[in-house]
Amino acid sequence: MEFIPQNPILEFKEDTLSNLRKQYNFEKPDDMDRAIDVLDAWVKKQNHFLRKAFPRSYLEKTIIANKGSIEGAKIKLDKICTFRTLMPDFFGENLTKNNFENLEDFCSISALLPKPTDDNYRVYFLKNKGQTFVSQQLLNLYRYVVLICEYKLAYDYSNGMVVFIDFTEANLIDLVTAIDLTEMRQAIAIVTEGFGMRLNGIHLLTSSKAIEALVTIFKQLLPAKVGSRICVHKDMGTVYQYIPKDVFPSEYGGKEKSLLKLSDDLTDALTAKDFREYIEGMNEAKTNEACRQTDKFNDQYLGTPGSFRTLTTD
């Protein structure tokens, strides 16, 4: 992949590809090609993988997501395939436009903001409304976030994500009450340990004192480093200290389209025929645990067999 294909909802800087490769010591095209070859060969040797081939662009983004580590990429691939097997409720069929409309009706409008940050992170924007929350609705939201992670690995090229959530209209006490801790813990594991999504910051907009309870839950479930990156804001003024103002929707002071239009664009992208077909293929990327060659399998280390070292390039 010597250029980033154009995308209907995501924009890239002219030097995004070269800068990210250089950041992780893949300055020459052959360097990345060799790394992908190593990872691809490893995938084909995994007896417990039900899918033996992934697009080279997918493997490259997995390597980038793991800061250039081939070992890290192997572990993440094993984990996401295992999660699809052991936690199928978070994956399943691609959602329809009607599903997304229902999601908007009960609590949420979200978008992947088109422009990346200066350091090539993608901003995920979520606005929670004030309707009553129930556990099933939150499970649908987790499924939606998983689908967005699939989309990012398919089409985005970035350092990771910055999350911005507008809670100004949300009933946070109601939300905290509705949270199933086990379910949320599993969803977070899929995003961070499976997809290897690097979260550079989580920014929460609200003046409610109940946010303290939600932040406490987040910090219990998130990796410690990510938990330390949670910031609560009472107004947008302090948000702009972390995320460039221009990347935000127009109603938040930025230069982008409205949040509703950006949300509609994301829905169109996630329900497009080519992405639906992509998801059907990715849903086959599971594991047969009976074929796994390991004597160690637990919640922290999902059975990546063997010992691997990061590829060294000249």
> Mean pLDDT score of the chain, rounded to an integer?
88
HEC readout, 71-94? HHHHHHHHHHHHHHHHCHHHCCCC
Provide, rounded to the nearest whole percent, the portion of the chain with pLDDT above 70. 86
Contact 138, 183 (CB under 8 A): yes
> In order of start, what are the domains of the chain with their CATH numbers?
16-90+283-291 (no CATH), 97-273 (3.40.525.10)
Q: Residue 141: what pLDDT?
A: 86
Mean pLDDT value across residues 50-76: 96
pLDDT tens track for 112-162: 999 999 999 999 999 987 666 666 778 888 988 999 999 999 999 999 999
In the structure, what pLDDT confidence band is assigned to residue 298 with cuts at 50, 70 and 90? very low
Place of tokens 């936690």: 87
DSSP strand E in 234-311: where?
A: none
